[in-house]
A = this chain, B = another copy of it.
Amino acid sequence: MTTNPIQLFDTESSTFTYILAAPGDTDAVIIDPVARHWERDLRHLERLGLKLRLVLETHAHADHVTSAGKLCEMTGALAAVPGGCGIAPAELQLQDGEVLRFGPGEEIRVLHTPGHTAGSMSYAWRRNVFTGDALLIDGCGRTDFQGGSAQALYDSVTGKLFTLPDDTRVWPGHDYQGQSVSTIGWEKRHNARLAGRSRADFARLMDQLDLPRPKLIDVAVPANRNLGLPHGG
């Protein structure tokens, strides 16, 4: 059954953070929390009467630092991350096809969706899919760093995400135009970068984007590989 997550937004990096909980239950999962909002996010859990069990990352982000480590320290939740992202301190190193469980019987299905980064994963829960920077609303993530590959992204989106039921809600890792949610069916038919395009066409399009290097990449990626916690000590 459709159950919308709680959606939170970071205006600096246009990043979405999601809180998932089954209706009527107190166990919660958070996806892609942002460092500067750790208190805001704990406050939301407190207000909603939720207990944090898992903190999920879709990939090692290049544009913001995660609060995953901090939230785990504060709550005793476990960090669960893509096995191929080099995020060493996380307790759970996820593999494609794995199922995470929380609450009275909730299941999160782990989908390896490489292309934005080599390790990127999406998470499917109750007719929702949290796509990180693989599939965005009417767009997709860039493919020019961290093992990114336009061909791999094309295969991840068209061969994996687009096989989910059409009414699956798509909750992206970012949006830059005030949008909140889409569906697999709509993206399959209308996505400006992917709908009706061949793999080679898509790769050409992505090659031509010529995007600037993310300002924070040299700070953010190493920090995120340590769950946003200070190194060493």
Residue numbers of A with Cβ under 8 A of B are 1-11, 23-24, 37, 40, 43-44, 46-49, 167, 169, 177-183, 185-186
Q: Which residues of B contact A167 (CB under 8 A)?
A: 49
Query: In whole Å, how far is A96's beta carbon from the nearest beta carbon of chain B?
Result: 27
In the bound complex, what is the Cα–Cα distance between A167 and B48 (angstroms)? Answer: 7
**Is B5's CB under 8 angstroms from A180's CB?**
no
Q: Known contacts being A4-B3, A4-B4, A24-B1, is A178 close to B11, with CB within 8 Å?
A: yes
**Is B181's CB under 8 angstroms from A37's CB?**
no
In the bound complex, what is the Cα–Cα distance between A36 and B78 (angstroms)? Answer: 42
Ranked 6 nearest A-B pairs via Cβ: A4-B4, A47-B186, A2-B23, A47-B182, A1-B23, A47-B183
- Copies of this chain, whole number: 2
Q: Which residues of B contact A24 (CB under 8 A)?
A: 1-2
> Which among B3, B47, B177, B183 is the interface contact of A3 at CB below 8 angstroms?
B3
- Could you jot down 21 A-B contacts, CB within 8 Å? A2-B24, A3-B3, A3-B23, A4-B4, A4-B5, A4-B6, A6-B181, A8-B178, A9-B9, A9-B178, A37-B178, A43-B179, A44-B179, A44-B181, A46-B186, A47-B181, A47-B182, A47-B186, A48-B183, A49-B167, A49-B183
